[in-house]
Amino acid sequence: MVLASLFILAPRGHTAPTAPADVRTTAPADLARGRWGLLFVVLPGCPACEQALTWFSALGEESPEIQFAVVAPTVAPELTAAVPPPLRVLADAGGTLGGRLGVKRAPTLVLLVEGSAASRLDWPFTEAELTMALSSSPMEHVPSPHDLLGNPAPGVSGLDLAGNPAYLSDLPRPLLLVFFNPGCPPCWDALPELVEVSKAVAVALLAIAPEGRLHNDHPERLAQFVYADEGYPRLVVLIRDPMVPRAYHVTRTPAHILVDETGVIAWVADGLIPQSELLQRIRAALGERE
């Protein structure tokens, strides 16, 4: 299961529970990079969770190659008091993240590698089983778009909204490629910000459409994006070939890949990025190559 495709970013208007200032917290977006051990607990009132948390805390000090986080519906004082550094705390309001990772009871251990759920250990388990699960988590590198930095952008072909062939080689440069999943609500949320970004650089949505077509009102909404305002070209390319996102090592959407004027990948990022930050990063990446 790929964490990126779970769209675990908090919806607009949602405020995650806060933790005291002396507790190290993390956000769902942080889980997309590196190796993570997540322990889902419910405190207070769960003796098994308290026991597993004791074991988990000891392992956190012995395994620096893994990042550890305790996930709970709310960050209660009982939890923060029991979570020593280097463990982090993640508030999973409503159990959204746990539900999407298949967690059905607490405590449960979920292992993530580069945002992909590698394995899960459900209660009941022993301290030895917990240790073995963490020590046997995959060590190999999981490819990501970051691996392509400084390399020529792989070729892209698809269809434009009118059904005509479209190729990366024909698109303007510099160009911000945005891998876009029509079934991803955060992708649609990003469109107004991308309209603003197109005032600084051309933007091409690579809409993943295995059958080469869109559904419902998607074509109309994407056409509104293309013709929304003045600026650099805004384009939509329907991607039918699953090898295209694979060539870019894309496992989550939206994914942003900046191709400079020479066709080289200058910057990459995945997930939702605030408009001001997105513009700043793009300008910095292009400035470094001027």
Q: What would the pLDDT profile of 61-110 be if each residue is shown by its tens digit?
A: 667 778 889 999 887 777 777 787 778 888 888 888 888 888 989 999 99
Distance CA 288, CA 75 (A): 42
User: pLDDT tens, 16-72?
Assistant: 344 444 557 777 767 877 788 999 999 878 899 999 998 998 887 667 778 889 999
Return d(Cα 24, Cα 93) in angstroms, integer. 17
Fold for the domain defined by 3-135: Glutaredoxin (3.40.30)
| Confidence tier at 1 by pLDDT (50, 70, 90) | very low
DSSP state of 153: P
SS (H, E, C) 27-65: CHHHHHCCEEEEEECCCCCCHHHHHHHHHHHHHHHHCCC
Distance CA 59, CA 55 (A): 6
Burial of residue 252 (number of CB atoms within 10 Å: 0-12, 13-18, 19+): buried
Domains 3-135 and 145-287 share a fold: yes
pLDDT digits (tens, 9 = 90+) for 62-75: 677 788 899 998 87
Q: Is the pLDDT higher at 237 or at 139?
A: 237
What CATH number labels 145-287? 3.40.30.10
Query: In the numeric block, which tokens belong to residue 142?
Result: 């999981």
Say whether 159 sits in a helix, a strand or coil: strand
Nearest CA-CA partner of 38 in 2, 69, 9, 11: 69
- Is the previous residue joined to 84 through a cis bond, with omega within 30 degrees of 0? no
CA distance 116 to 283: 31
Domain boundaries, given as residue ranges, for the chain: 3-135, 145-287
Total number of residues shown for the chain: 290
* Bond before 44 cis per omega within 30 degrees: yes
SS3 219: helix
Give the β-pairing of 165-167 and 157-159. antiparallel
Contact 61, 45 (CB under 8 A): no
pLDDT at position 48 is 94
Report whether pLDDT(240) > 60. Answer: yes
